[in-house]
Amino acid sequence: MSAPTFRFDNTYARDLQGFYAPWKPAAVPSPSLLFFNQELALELGLDSKVLDGPEGAAIFAGNLVPEGAEPLAQAYAGHQFGAFSPQLGDGRALLLGEVIDQRGCRRDIMLKGSGRTPFSRGGDGKAAIGPMLREVLISEAMHALGIPTTRALAVAGTGEPVYRQQPLPGAVLTRVAASHLRVGTFEFFSARGETQRVRQLADYTIARHDPDLLGTGDQYLALLQRVAQRQAALIAQWMNVGFIHGVMNTDNVTISGETIDYGPCAFMEAYEPDAVFSSIDHGGRYAYSNQPLIARWSLARLAETLLPLIAEEDSKSAVSKAVGQATEVIDAFPKWHAAALLKGQREKLGLQGGDDGLDGALVADWLTLLHEHKVDFTLGWRRLADAAGGNETPLRSLFPHPQAADAWLTRWRSRGESEGGQAPEWSERAERMRRVNPAVIPRNHRVEEALSAASEKEDLAPFHRLLTALQHPYDESQDRAEYTEPASAEATACYRTFCGT
Ligand code: AMP
Ligand code: MG
């Protein structure tokens, strides 16, 4: 008998019975492998020779359940645009199982688009090729930018249409995550008053993500703090690359601190704090600049589910003490987020530690300049690195008047000079800045171009070319120039994204 393709060790299936529905993927007529992530397969210790072929196509399309997999649909709830939905769950996804990667970390392997489940409600459980390839492009870009994210291991075509506004080619994505535990997983059991299950879930979570907290007296409060700190750092990283998630419902907020669910997300072009791309986000709840506030709001929902665990006993005074402790954590979120944001911004400016107030003002004034003159966010920062290296022309050409940023540039330079003898030379600063200010991001028009070629013409070449560029975001070679250029302002003004349903 051949060796198993995955060495599964399925703690979720084993330890959390009652938290999911065991289920099987739907069979599809004609599996084909459209994308396979060699690098990630290696990281996961998988046998690429087997998976990057017909057997892989069958597995990743859902036709062949690999040995050791125990497919299941996870239960979760969630606040969607602020309104509570007590039952969401994996309506078109199945956790196949968990593997231990080469670094010893446990990773979930999940199919998305693998057919209906007991949580599907009115949905068909399927996915179209466009949104699944979109998730590959954006999640791989995020990974290359050093931002915690779920990853894409494979996309398989199914050979059957899925019916949206029009029939589209169907596909299944294989997603890899540190776990699929969400704020919404806790809300599901909390809303049903199942405190024992919330405790079981929290214990499982701590063992999986924060094992150093095991047995410390206040582990549930500490868990809340860890999740809040991970989210504070994550959202800071989003903000510093101009990423707009688009649908930060509590079912899309992970406990691990990874970005998840690439539905209507987009990167902004010209700096605009109010930027919203999602077609259903009418009120701008998930606008770019609202993301830290919304993350904090979501963490308050998590805190509510943990209160009975944080309280030492079921008495009024113990519960009100727990509320006070949890509130302190939620109230500390803006401070943690601001610190992570400024740390990243200082690196982007090529500066070392200094006075927070002065550096905060320096960044704020830089962003005001970008906003006022509608400068491309990504290129603004990138060309600032060139300016550090002595070439200010490309930066100046981003502004309507070449002198628009002069006063600010003088301030920035003297702030750099004030670091004294220990500070790096400007040429060295420029190099460092080029390692944190990307040249290539998934620009909306390039993503759409790649997806329509794949979906409408079965041409995957633009997808693969763009993917390669996104995997090297700091590399600004001539043959990638097309991917650094912004879309026209008109194209961006009309750009709308949709949930991947
Ligand atoms: P999302 O907007 O992708 O975060 O999904 C929200 C909820 O809708 C989750 O419970 C999904 O499983 C479910 N869902 C999304 N698309 C489909 C679909 N095509 N069929 C069934 N359920 C779906
Ligand atoms: Mg979701």
The pLDDT tens digits of the residues spanning 413-423 come to: 999 999 988 88
CA of 492 to the centre of ligand 1 (A): 27
Report pLDDT for 71. Answer: 98
* Segment (H or E) for 20: strand 20-22
Return d(Cα 338, Cα 344) in angstroms, integer: 10
| Cβ proximity of 172 and 62 under 8 Å | yes
Residues 192 and 312 in one domain: yes
Residues 210 and 331 in one domain: yes
Residue nearest to ligand 1 atom 2, measured at CA: 499
Residue nearest to ligand 1 atom 22, measured at CA: 91
Ligand 1 atom closest to residue 263's alpha carbon, by position in its atom list:
3
Distances (CA, A) of 262 to 136, 241, 322, 410: 9, 16, 35, 40
Ligand 1 atom closest to residue 113's alpha carbon, by position in its atom list:
19
Q: Which of 139, 163, 180 marks a domain boundary?
A: 180
Residues 135 and 35 in one domain: yes
Residue 2 inside a domain? The answer is no
- Cα Rg, the chain, nearest whole Å: 23
Residues 146 and 192 in one domain: no
At residue 81 the predicted structure's pLDDT band, cuts being 50, 70 and 90, is very high
**Mean pLDDT in the chain?**
96
Residues 176 and 34 in one domain: yes
Report pLDDT for 353. Answer: 86
* Segment (H or E) for 104: none
CA of 362 to the centre of ligand 1 (A): 42
Return d(Cα 257, Cα 255) in angstroms, integer: 6
Residues 241 and 172 in one domain: no
**Quick check: 501 pLDDT over 80?**
no
Report pLDDT for 369. Answer: 98
The pLDDT tens digits of the residues spanning 48-79 come to: 999 999 999 999 999 999 999 999 999 999 99
| 251 part of the active site | yes
Ligand 1 atom closest to residue 91's alpha carbon, by position in its atom list:
12
CA of 246 to the centre of ligand 2 (A): 11
Q: Is the CB of 252 under 6 A from ligand 1?
A: yes
Residues 371 and 327 in one domain: no
Q: What is the DSSP letter of 135?
A: H
Active-site option among 251, 261, 359, 376: 251
Q: What is the pTM assigned to this prediction?
A: 0.97
Residue 231 structural domain: 184-340
Residue nearest to ligand 1 atom 15, measured at CA: 501
Return d(Cα 401, Cα 404) in angstroms, integer: 5
The pLDDT tens digits of the residues spanning 178-230 come to: 999 999 999 999 999 999 999 999 999 999 999 999 989 899 999 999 999 99
Show the DSSP H helices in 287-402 as ranges: 291-310, 316-349, 356-372, 377-388, 393-396
At residue 338 the predicted structure's pLDDT band, cuts being 50, 70 and 90, is very high
Q: Which of 180, 203, 235 marks a domain boundary?
A: 180
CA of 120 to the centre of ligand 1 (A): 7
Residue nearest to ligand 1 atom 16, measured at CA: 501
C-alpha triplet 178, 211, 250: angle, nearest 5°: 45
Report pLDDT for 500. Answer: 65
Question: Number of structural domains, the chain?
Answer: 3
CA of 252 to the centre of ligand 2 (A): 5
Distances (CA, A) of 480 to 12, 68, 256, 271, 440: 43, 42, 33, 22, 8
Report pLDDT for 204. Answer: 98
**Quick check: 7 pLDDT over 60?**
yes
Query: What contacts 24+ positions apart, CB below 8 Å, involve 315-323?
Result: 322/221
**Quick check: 474 pLDDT over 80?**
yes
Q: Which of 286, 308, 340 marks a domain boundary?
A: 340
At residue 2 the predicted structure's pLDDT band, cuts being 50, 70 and 90, is low
Q: Is the CB of 168 under 6 A from ligand 1?
A: no
Residue nearest to ligand 1 atom 10, measured at CA: 88
Task: Name the percent of the chain lying above pLDDT 70.
Answer: 99
Ligand 1 atom closest to residue 499's alpha carbon, by position in its atom list:
2
Q: Is the CB of 135 under 6 A from ligand 1?
A: no
